[in-house]
Amino acid sequence: MGRDFTIKLEPLGEKLRVKENTPLKDILFKYGIEFPCGGKGICGGCKIKMLDGDIPLNREHQQALNKLGLSPDIRLACRSIVTSDLTLEIDQFETFILADSSSFRFTPAEGFGIAIDLGTTTLVAQLLDLSTGHVLDAVTRLNPQAEFGADVISRIEYAIRNAGLSVLQNLIRESIAAMVNKLIFRHKVAVTKVVIVGNTVMQHIFSGLDLTPLSAYPFESKKKAFYSFSPEELKFHTEINAEVLFLPSLGSFVGSDILAGILATRLHQSKKYIALIDLGTNGEIVVGNKDKILCASTAAGPAFEGTNIRMGMRASTGAISSIRDNGDGIKFHVIGNEVPKGICGSGLIDAIAVFIKKDIIDVGGKIKDNTDHIELKPPVIISQRDIRELQLAKGAIAAGLQILLDQLEITHDQVESVYIAGAFGNFINIENTRRIGLIEFQEDKIHKMGNTALIGAKMSLFLDEEDIEPILAITDHVSLEMIPDFQDLFADKMMFE
Amino acid sequence: MSDILEKLTVCVERGKANKVSPYPPDLKGQDGADELTAEAIKKGISPDDILQKALVVGMSNIGQKFSEGKAFVPEMLMSAKAMKAAMVHLKPFFTSGEVKQKGTVVLGTIQGDLHDIGKNLVAMMVEGAGWKVIDLGVDVGFDKIEQILKDNPGTIVGLSALLTTTMVNMKTVVEKVKAMNPDNIVMIGGAPVTQDYCDEIGADFYSSDPQGAIDYLNGIAS
């Protein structure tokens, strides 16, 4: 009785020793598995894949799998009990990483390709059949560099101060190699091209470039340079005979993830002006058309991702993700339909939009009755400081966009389409982004586009360097901090008018 | 007279720059710092009184609230805007020497750093507290400060940094200023800066908020 079993977790590479009959629900939560329906076996949100070993099914579990249409090697963690050694693949966080499956136009090519989105927080690699454009498989991981800080500045600091560049480089190269090798191992296909996109700091670390120029003004990056690697030096599977290309950065902190966003939105082919807004910590923005493209990073800060917000959290179980006021009382949506634990970026935007409309928050952002917080669904609140944090973030994006438009000598009305990218972008209520003045374009022009970095990386599998160079030639980076009156514009754009 | 100055104090404290500004909403359509300062000068109120009895009080009030966590950066920025609008009218009197200032402070965001919002707020507050401010802008190394210290010995130096990677440049500037004159005061601030770091590099003063710098400067002046 009470034998111990070993559970291996992929792709994390973790090994756990657990007692017989331990419910997986008790041990997997801290490895990123969440239980959106609260462990009732309804939603399938906690699904895991058995790579080795078996989890026996009872009738209820079998019915749940049938109902959700899941394959025989899948189990629901909330219904599972350990009775043998197991190797499990847990990619619950994939939903949040946005392993994109959208379609795009391409010219069919021979062989297979791998597109990689190398993010500060998450990594996604997709295997594509280049003759059909179909995604055959995807693997995701967390960026192992996160141990050395969540944001790019702390990574730079670690690399410079602790001579840690090679440590960070080895970590990321090992992860990327493991992901690529896994895709090749599973499918045994001849991969001929690998494309990686990522922000400037990730590009520098992966390529082993000195980060000092990015640590201080004028924040110069090795812009517009393609870096290519051999599969051997990256320790990719020995059978692979592919070109591995890291797409070039656009300048300063605007990296090839944004170049990929340009490809994904086809901004560079459009006669009319198109805008791309990535609502992450760096808040990159792009406006342009086939003749001229301007880009900037706005340092919007992490408020949209729940950081610096009193009860802020990412969009996962227990987060208030949307708030509506239809006249018959305020309705809250909590992810997983359970007691709320906090609020995520989309919920925060909704909350402020709703309370402005109800005249509880004034257009300057002040809570009118002078209290320091507003109660949402207990125990969650938003504080006066939270509103101020959001004002800084939205002011930075809106002011940055205004400056790019001014430099192009166009108005908001002359922009034909606006694409919102990024993990957070997918959850937001567009009407409310307009109401709070985050995005000041007509509603019917605004589209959520998901992971544009990954879409663009996939598209670039079908392109050559010569196809991308013309985009680089018409793209300029704008340093917002150097614009006179930026501060006054920034202050104005913080208001909710 | 006091009525105008009271109104002006409120405008600076609450960030009402001018009449057309929609902010703050409850003062919509009313005169702002711009109009009130012009009016006060026209009515013959001395620029010194406008500065001391209105602007200094308004900036000090908002600075105090900021220190107490009752006001935040967006409000500080709006107050700075109002202050700036008032200062446009007062600047000629400063340069003519009609208004007596407490001393000179040279401010800059440290070499390698472009983040100047915090430094700008401090500049406004220091100016509002009755000091002459020489704002060197961003990316400021010792080379830019040196000439000012030669021309105006004893000028207080204030440096800010927002990045841990640029903060280290403060050390060099402090060393070089102290090499010129060991008694020359250097104040430092910014998000990554701490009292420990201030002690470590031999700077004279650190504050986590602008009001702390004002209190320190006023202590020197009195």
CB distance from B192 to chain A under 8 Å? no
- Best residue in A482, A490, A492 for a mutation probing chain B (most B CBs within 10 Å): A492
Count of domains for chain A: 3
Say how many CA atoms lie within 13 Å of A106 toward its Cβ.
25
A211 and A302 part of one domain? no
Lowest-confidence segment of A164-173, A230-239, A459-468, B101-110 by average pLDDT:
A230-239
pLDDT at A92 over 50: no
A326 and A429 part of one domain? yes
Q: Is residue A255 part of a domain?
A: no
CB distance from B184 to chain A under 8 Å? no
pLDDT of residue A91: 56
pLDDT at A318 over 50: yes
Give dist(CA A140, CA A426) in Å, integer. Answer: 18
What is the mean predicted confidence (pLDDT) over A281-292?
92
Residues in chain A: 497
A73 and A146 part of one domain? no
pLDDT digits (tens, 9 = 90+) for A404-439: 999 999 999 999 999 998 766 667 899 999 999 999
DSSP lists the bridge partners of residue A275 as A287, A418
Cβ within 8 Å, pair A365-B74: yes
- The residue from A92, A107, A131 where one domain ends is A92
Domain that holds residue A20: 4-92
Give dist(CA B65, CA B209) in Å, integer. Answer: 11
pLDDT digits (tens, 9 = 90+) for B14-32: 999 999 988 898 898 999 9
Cβ within 8 Å, pair A482-B73: no
Lowest-confidence segment of A14-18, A68-72, A316-320, B86-90 by average pLDDT:
A68-72
A372 and A479 part of one domain? yes
A53 and A132 part of one domain? no
pLDDT of residue A406: 96
A245 and A270 part of one domain? no
Cα dist. B1→A381, A441, B4, B85 in Å? Answer: 45, 46, 6, 20
Chain B partners within 8 Å of A364 (Cβ): 15, 23-25, 74-75, 78
Mean pLDDT over the full length of chain A: 87
Chain B partners within 8 Å of A384 (Cβ): 72
Q: CA gyration radius for chain A?
A: 23
Q: Is residue A260 part of a domain?
A: no
Give dist(CA A103, CA A159) in Å, integer. Answer: 38
A376 and A402 part of one domain? yes
Residue A121 is part of a domain; what is its CATH number?
A: 3.30.420.480
- Best residue in B26, B77, B83 for a mutation probing chain A (most A CBs within 10 Å): B77
pLDDT of residue A425: 63
- Taking alpha carbons only, the member of B125, B132, B52 closest to residue B83 is B125
CATH of domain B101-222: 3.40.50.280
Cβ within 8 Å, pair A160-B115: no
CB distance from B171 to chain A under 8 Å? no
A120 and A207 part of one domain? yes
pLDDT of residue A353: 96
Cβ within 8 Å, pair B72-A385: yes
Q: Which CATH class for the B1-100 domain?
A: mainly alpha
Whether the CB-CB separation of A285 and A404 falls below 8 Å is answered with yes
A85 and A145 part of one domain? no
pLDDT of residue A103: 63
A245 and A317 part of one domain? no
A231 and A327 part of one domain? no
Indicate if ipTM > 0.90: no
A23 and A40 part of one domain? yes
Domain boundaries, given as residue ranges, for chain B: 1-100, 101-222
